Structure 1
Amino acid sequence: MTTRSNPRRLPSCLVLVGLALAWAVSPASAQPPVAAASEASGDEVTAGGLAAGDCRRFGAVGDGLADDSDAIQRAVDSGVGRIEFSKGVYRITRPIVVDLQRVGYVALSAAGVARIEMAAAGPAIRIVGTHFASADPEKFSDEVWQRQRMPLVDGLAIVGKHPEASGIEASGTMQLTLSRLHLRDLLHGVRLADNNRNVILSECHIYQNRGVGVFYDQVNLHQSNIVNCHISYNGGGGIVSVGGNVRNIQIAGCDLESNMSPQGDATANVLIDCRGSRYGTAEVAITGCTIQHNNPSPDSANIRIIGNSDPTERLPRVREGNVTIVGNVLSDVQVNLHLRECRGVAITGNTFWQGYRHNLLVESCSAVVMAGNNLDRNPRYDYGNTADANNSVVFRDCEDSTISGLHVTNVWRNPAGVLVEGCRRINLTDCTILDCDGVGLWLKDVSHSRVSGCLIRDDRPAVGDERRSVAIRVTGGEALMITNNLLDTEVDAADDTAHLDGNLVR
C-alpha cells in the first residue's frame, strides 16, 4: 500500500521546523537556567562554563590579590557539596570552616591547578564533624552517615603566607580522605586534633614547613593510613604523634626526608612520643619507606619511639608497642632507629647506614624481635662528613628479646660494634659482626642470656703490635651461654660468668 502525504499539513510542519531552528540558535538556548546551588549536583549544572560548585560562581576571583575568604566560605556553606577550584591563586585571610553537620557531604577538589594562599594564622581548611567515639558501628549516630562521612580534599595546593598559617585541620571526622595535596611553607601541613577515625592520606607532597608534616596532636584516633606520600623538610618532624590515644597507624611506601632542622629541637622523620598520656600510640606498621637525613640536626633520628605512657594503679610501668618496622631504607641521622620503653617491636629486613652516633639504640625495652637487618658502611658513600658516622648498635637495660641475623660492619670510634649492657634474657644468634673498633660484641652486666652461631672477626691490618679488636668481651653479669661461634680471638670473660663451648677461634 502506498502512503501519500497530505499537502494541507505541510505549511504547519514547516512552521514548527522554523520555530525549532530559531530556538536552537537563540542566546536563551545557549544559556540554560541555573538551578539553585543547593539543588545543583556538582558539575552537572553549568553557567558560563563554571560547575555549580565552582568557587568563582560564589564570587571568588582567584588572582592572588583579592581576598577570596568570603566567597569560598559561601561555596562551602551553600550545600552544593562538590566545591571546585578553577585554575588560579586564591588568597584567604581566615580559615575556611567545613561544618559537616551543617553543610553535609563535602569534596574540595582542584585537579592540581589551584593554589590557596593562607595569609592569616590558623589552618587554611578546618573540617569539623560530630563523631567523638570509636569506629565501632554501634557508636555512630545516623547524622554521621547521613551528612558527614568521608570528607574529601583532593588535588589542591596550600601555601602559607603567614608565620602561623597551617594547611588542613580535622576534628570529629569519620573517613577523612586527603589526596594529591601540595602543602608548603606552612606551620603544620596536616593537624589531626581531638577525635577522628579512619583517616587516609595518599599521594600528598608535604614539603618545607616550619612545624610538623602530619601531626597527631593529642588526638584520639584509631585507624589511619599514610601511603605513597613525600613528606620532607618539615622542621618539626615528618610524621609526629604526641600523647593522645592513637592506634593502627600504617605508614607505607613513603619518602620521608630531612624532617628536622639544625636550629630546632630534637625530632625525627617518624616520632612517636607516648609521654603525658594514659594511652599513647601503639599498633604501628612502618613498611617499605625511604627514611633519611639529616645528621647536622641535634639528636636527629629517622624513627624514634618513646613508649612510656603514664602509669596507672594497675600498671605502674607502661610500655606501648606492637610495632612492625619492615623493609625500610634508613640513613644519615644521629640515630637511625631509637626505641625507648617499648614492648613488642618486630624489626626485619631493613638497611641502615650513616648512623652518626648509632644505627640502633634500644633502651629499656622488652619483647624486641630483630631478624635479617643490614647495618653496613658502603665505600660508595665516601664524601663530605660520611666518615664521621660511627654506626654502633646498643641494647641497654632491655629484657626478653631475640636478636638474630644482624649484619654489622665497620663500627668506628665506639667501645663495641654491638654493646649489650644491663640486659637479661637476651637470645642473640646468627649475627655477623665484622671489622669493628674496640670489641665486636661486648656483654656488660648481662644475665641469663645466650650468644650462639655468630661470626665475629676483625680482619683489618693490625696497628703496631696490637690487634684492632676483641671478638667477644664479657664484663660482669651471670648465667651466660656463649657457644658455637666462629671468632678470631678467644672470648674475653671471667671463668664464673659464662659457659663457653664449641667456639672456634681461627
Structure 2
Amino acid sequence: MVRRDIDAFWDRETKNNINENFKELYDKAVTTTKTIDDLVLESGESNMEVVQARAGKPTLNARLNVIDDGLNLVDQQLAQTAQEINRVDSSKANKNEVEEALNNKRDKSVPIGLNDTDSELLAAIEGGEGTSFNLESIPRDYSVTPEKTTFVRSKNLFDGNYIKGGLSGSKTSQTPGFVTTGAFEDAKSAVIEVKQHTTYTISKTPSDRFRVALTSNYPEHNRAVKFIRDEYDDGGDSATEFTFNSENYNYVTIYVTINNELPDFLQIEEGDIATEWYTYGFFITPQAEKYSSIGVIKDRMKDGKVYVNDFTGDGKSDADAIQDAFDHSKGNVVVFNPEKKYNVNKTVTAHASKVRGVEGQNALLEADADIDIFKYVGSKTSGNAIPTPSSGNIELAYSEMKPFINHLRVSSTKGAYVGSGIVFDGTYGLTIDGCHAFNLKHGIKVVGLNRDFIVSNNTIYHCSGQGIFWDNADVHQQNIVGNHISYCKKSLYFLNSNMHNVQIVGNDIESGFTDDIRYPESLIHFYIDDSITQVYEAIHIVGNSLQDHLNNYTQPLLKFESKKEAGIQDLIIGNNQLANALKESLYIEGSDRVAFTGNSIKRGGEDVPYSINLVGSNKNVNISGNNIPTGIQWSAETTKTLIANNILDGFTLPDSDDGKVKVVNNF
C-alpha cells in the first residue's frame, strides 16, 4: 500500500490521488473483514490462523481497534475534502455574471453625462437646497491639494472680487470703520486674508480712493478698524503703491473707489517692494515647452556661442527664432546661419548683458515694414565714461562693455526702402564692424545715451533716409572709421544731439542721383536748433573721400548748421578730398574754433560760385593750405577768421584785413 500526497493545488492529478487513497483504504478494509470472518469460523481448527488474524497484536480485539481508527481517519479526510470542494466552488466566478459586467463596462472614450450621475449630484449642480459643500475648506482624506501638486500660487493674493463698502474714519479715529450704506452705496473695497506679522506691498493703477485698514475678523458694517492709510493719504490719482506690516491682524481692507470706478488692476504681495503684476491663480511647474523654444542647454551652447538656427522650426517665425536665441543667451555670442535669409516682421532686440556679441556670418535680415529691424540695447542710461565707483562704469566694464555686431546684412525687401537696419541705445563700447545695411530708410540709427562706440569697415548703401542717423542722441567718444557709405539721401546726419569727441576718419562717402532715392542732399550734415542746450564739440573729419559720384547733384557736401551762436565748436576738417558738389563743398553756420586745412576740393558744375560758404555767426576760423577751385564767401558776422596759404584755381583772393577776417598769401 502506497500513500499518495494530496497537494494544495487541486488539479486533475491531485483529485486522482485522493480517489486512489480512498480505493486502497476501502479494499484493505474489505480484505481485513473477510480475513477476520474466516478466522472466526476456523479458530478452533488452526492456531496459526488465529495468530495471523491478530497481525502481531496481543489480541484480536486490539487488531480490530486499529482498523476502526483507520476508518475514522478516512471519514475525517472525506469530510475535509468535501469542505475544500465547497470552498472552491463558492469562490469561482460565475460566467454569466462576468459577461454581464463586461457588457455594462463604461466606454472611456464617451464623456460622462448627466444620466451617469445620481440625483444628489444633479440637485447640487442645480443649486438645490441643502446640497452645497466647501471643497477647499473641508477636503476629503487623501484629496488633491496644491501642496501635493506642482501648482504654484501666484504672488498676487487678490482674487479680483471687490465687495460693497468703504472705509470711514482716520488713524486717530478708528470708527465707524467699514461702512456699506449711505454715501458708501457705490463704494468698493478689496478684502484679503493675510498672515500675521508679515510685510505686504499693494500696487495698483490710479483710482479715486486708496485707504487701507486692518481687522482681526472679516470686516462688517460699522465695525471699527485699524487705519494704516486714511483719507489724508489718498493722494488722488497719483497714489498707486503702499507697503505695510499686518501686525497681529488677519485681514486687510483696501478701499479703492467711492463711485464704483474700479482701478484697472490691483496686486497685493508679500515683501516690501512692488514687483511685476500677475493675476490671481496658480502656475503649473515645471511648464512644458517646445524643444525649439527652450533655453540654452546642452548643444544649444557650443564653445560659448548660441546658434539662431537651433531655435527655428515648429512654424515659428524667423523673428521669434532670433528673439528666442537672444533671450536665452547667458552672456554668449549669438551666431546666425550664413546661408539663411531671415524674414523679420517685427523688431528683434538683444541686450548687452545677455548677448556679448553677434556673429552675422553675412546672414541677411530682411523686413518689409518701417520698423527698427535689429535693436541692440545696454544699461548705460546716464553719466559719463569716467571709471569711478559712483558712476557705475567700472561695473559695466565687466558686465557689458565692448560688445560687438559683426558681418550682419540688413535690408528691406526690394524697392521698399523702409526700416532702420541696426539701432542701438544705452551701449558702452559697442563695435559694429563689417556689416552691410542697404535698401533701407536708415542704415544705422543711434538713439539715447551711448558712450565709446566704434562703427568700422561697414558698407551702407542706397538708403532713402540716412546712412547713419544720430536721432536726438547723447554720445561721447565715437569713431566712424573705414566705412563705405554711398547713394543715401544723407550719408551721416546728426540731429539735435549732445555730441562730443567724434572722429570721422578714412571713409569713402559718396552720393549721386538714383531713380529711387532721386536727389541727394549732404554727405555729412550736423544740425542743431536754438532750443537745444547742448553743443556739438570736438568733431574731427580727417582723411576721407567725400564726393558726388559724377552727377553733381549734392549740395553741399559738408554742412554744419547751428541755429544758435557757437553751437558747433572745435571742428577740425583736414586732408580730405571733396569733389563734384552742385554748389558749395563746405557750409558752416554758428561755429566757434574751426580748422579747415590740407583739403583738396574738386570743382562741380561750371556755375558753382564758391566752394566755401560761412553763414551767420562764425568765429575763430582757420582756412589754410587747401586747394580751392572756386570762391570763398563769408558773412558780416564772421570774426577772428584767417584765410591763408591756399591754392586758388580760377579765382583770386586779394590780401585784406578788416579786423574780423584776414586774407593773406593765397595764390
Q: TM-score, normalised by structure 1?
A: 0.65
1:274 to 528, 537, 540: 528
Tell me, what secondary structure is at the counterpart of 1:339?
strand
Once the two structures are superposed, residues 21-65 of structure 1 have per-residue CA deviations (whole angstroms, 9 ceiling, x without a partner) of xxxxxxxxxxxxxx97267796427xxxxxx5111111169xxx9
Q: Which residue of 2 aligns with 1:401?
A: 641
Distance, in Å, in 1 between the alignment partners of 2:300 and 2:397 is 19
Distance 1:79 1:369, change over 3 A: same
Instruction: Please say if 1:44 is aligned against 2:296.
Output: no
Instruction: Please say if 1:248 is aligned against 2:507.
Output: no
Structure 2 residue ranges without an equivalent (≥5): 1-293
Instruction: Please say if 1:425 is aligned against 2:665.
Output: no
Distance, in Å, in 1 between the alignment partners of 2:635 and 2:456 is 37
Instruction: Please say if 1:292 is aligned against 2:550.
Output: no
Once the two structures are superposed, residues 168-218 of structure 1 have per-residue CA deviations (whole angstroms, 9 ceiling, x without a partner) of 111111111100001000110111111111110000000101110111111
Distance 1:320 1:38, change over 3 A: farther
Instruction: Please say if 1:83 is aligned against 2:369.
Output: no
In the TM superposition, residue 331 of structure 1 has moved relative to its aligned partner by 1.1
Instruction: Please say if 1:124 is aligned against 2:399.
Output: no
Structure 1 residue ranges without an equivalent (≥5): 1-34, 46-51, 310-316, 377-390, 412-416, 433-506
Q: Which residue of 1 aligns with 2:189?
A: none
In the TM superposition, residue 318 of structure 1 has moved relative to its aligned partner by 3.4
Kept in 2: contact 1:200–1:224 (CA 8 A):
yes
Distance 1:321 1:141, change over 3 A: closer
2:467 to 208, 213, 221: 213
Give the total of aligned pairs: 359
2:360 to 78, 87, 110: 110
Q: Which residue of 2 aligns with 1:231?
A: 485
In the TM superposition, residue 402 of structure 1 has moved relative to its aligned partner by 1.4
Distance, in Å, in 2 between the alignment partners of 1:171 and 1:418 is 47
Distance, in Å, in 1 between the alignment partners of 2:609 and 2:570 is 26
Kept in 2: contact 1:289–1:327 (CA 8 A):
yes
Structure ID, larger Rg: 2
Kept in 2: contact 1:371–1:406 (CA 8 A):
yes
Distance, in Å, in 1 between the alignment partners of 2:540 and 2:512 is 19
Distance, in Å, in 2 between the alignment partners of 1:60 and 1:297 is 50
Instruction: Please say if 1:371 is aligned against 2:624.
Output: yes
Distance 1:142 1:40, change over 3 A: farther
Distance 1:217 1:424, change over 3 A: farther
Distance 1:299 1:109, change over 3 A: closer
- State the AA in 2 paired with 1:337: L
- State the AA in 1 paired with 2:635: R
- State the AA in 1 paired with 2:428: M
Distance, in Å, in 2 between the alignment partners of 1:286 and 1:149 is 26
Distance 1:371 1:142, change over 3 A: closer
Instruction: Please say if 1:171 is aligned against 2:430.
Output: no
In the TM superposition, residue 83 of structure 1 has moved relative to its aligned partner by 0.8
Instruction: Please say if 1:358 is aligned against 2:610.
Output: yes
In the TM superposition, residue 291 of structure 1 has moved relative to its aligned partner by 0.2
Kept in 1: contact 2:547–2:578 (CA 8 A):
yes
Distance, in Å, in 1 between the alignment partners of 2:376 and 2:514 is 29
Distance, in Å, in 1 between the alignment partners of 2:655 and 2:519 is 29
Tell me, what secondary structure is at the counterpart of 2:381?
coil
Distance, in Å, in 2 between the alignment partners of 1:366 and 1:404 is 16
Tell me, what secondary structure is at the counterpart of 1:173?
coil
Kept in 1: contact 2:512–2:554 (CA 8 A):
no
Distance, in Å, in 2 between the alignment partners of 1:421 and 1:265 is 38
Q: Which residue of 1 aligns with 2:585?
A: 336
Q: Which residue of 2 aligns with 1:71?
A: 321
- State the AA in 2 paired with 1:127: Y
Distance, in Å, in 2 between the alignment partners of 1:79 and 1:53 is 7
Kept in 2: contact 1:94–1:119 (CA 8 A):
no
Distance 1:300 1:423, change over 3 A: farther
Q: Which residue of 2 aligns with 1:464?
A: none
2:568 to 307, 316, 320: 320
In the TM superposition, residue 430 of structure 1 has moved relative to its aligned partner by 1.3
Kept in 2: contact 1:238–1:259 (CA 8 A):
no
Distance 1:154 1:266, change over 3 A: closer
Distance, in Å, in 2 between the alignment partners of 1:136 and 1:41 is 37
Distance, in Å, in 2 between the alignment partners of 1:124 and 1:60 is 21
Q: Pick which of 160-169 and 293-302 moved more.
A: 293-302
Distance 1:361 1:40, change over 3 A: farther
The alignment yields a C-alpha RMSD, in angstroms, of: 2.9
- State the AA in 1 paired with 2:474: N
Tell me, what secondary structure is at the counterpart of 2:322?
helix
Distance, in Å, in 2 between the alignment partners of 1:419 and 1:296 is 32
Distance, in Å, in 2 between the alignment partners of 1:266 and 1:172 is 31
Distance 1:156 1:137, change over 3 A: same
Distance, in Å, in 1 between the alignment partners of 2:526 and 2:420 is 21
In the TM superposition, residue 404 of structure 1 has moved relative to its aligned partner by 1.1
Once the two structures are superposed, residues 84-128 of structure 1 have per-residue CA deviations (whole angstroms, 9 ceiling, x without a partner) of 112221111111111334xx242111233x111123321211111
Kept in 2: contact 1:259–1:268 (CA 8 A):
no
In the TM superposition, residue 249 of structure 1 has moved relative to its aligned partner by 0.7
Distance 1:344 1:252, change over 3 A: same
Tell me, what secondary structure is at the counterpart of 2:472?
strand
Q: Which residue of 1 aligns with 2:348?
A: 96
In the TM superposition, residue 285 of structure 1 has moved relative to its aligned partner by 0.4
Once the two structures are superposed, residues 411-470 of structure 1 have per-residue CA deviations (whole angstroms, 9 ceiling, x without a partner) of 4xxxxx4499996422222110xxxxxxxxxxxxxxxxxxxxxxxxxxxxxxxxxxxxxx
Q: Which residue of 2 aligns with 1:283?
A: 538
Distance 1:421 1:130, change over 3 A: farther
Tell me, what secondary structure is at the counterpart of 2:306?
coil
Distance, in Å, in 2 between the alignment partners of 1:329 and 1:354 is 11
- State the AA in 2 paired with 1:345: V
Distance 1:110 1:299, change over 3 A: closer
Once the two structures are superposed, residues 367-404 of structure 1 have per-residue CA deviations (whole angstroms, 9 ceiling, x without a partner) of 1112210124xxxxxxxxxxxxxx32212221111111
Distance, in Å, in 1 between the alignment partners of 2:500 and 2:539 is 7
Distance, in Å, in 2 between the alignment partners of 1:121 and 1:193 is 17
Distance, in Å, in 2 between the alignment partners of 1:423 and 1:265 is 39
Q: Which residue of 1 aligns with 2:144?
A: none
Kept in 2: contact 1:268–1:301 (CA 8 A):
yes
Distance 1:66 1:42, change over 3 A: closer
Q: Which residue of 1 aligns with 2:598?
A: 349
Q: Pick which of 279-288 and 117-126 moved more.
A: 117-126
In the TM superposition, residue 365 of structure 1 has moved relative to its aligned partner by 1.2
Q: Percent identity?
A: 21
Once the two structures are superposed, residues 293-328 of structure 1 have per-residue CA deviations (whole angstroms, 9 ceiling, x without a partner) of 16867771111111344xxxxxxx434220111100
Tell me, what secondary structure is at the counterpart of 2:626?
strand
Tell me, what secondary structure is at the counterpart of 1:111?
coil
- State the AA in 2 paired with 1:126: K
- State the AA in 1 paired with 2:661: I
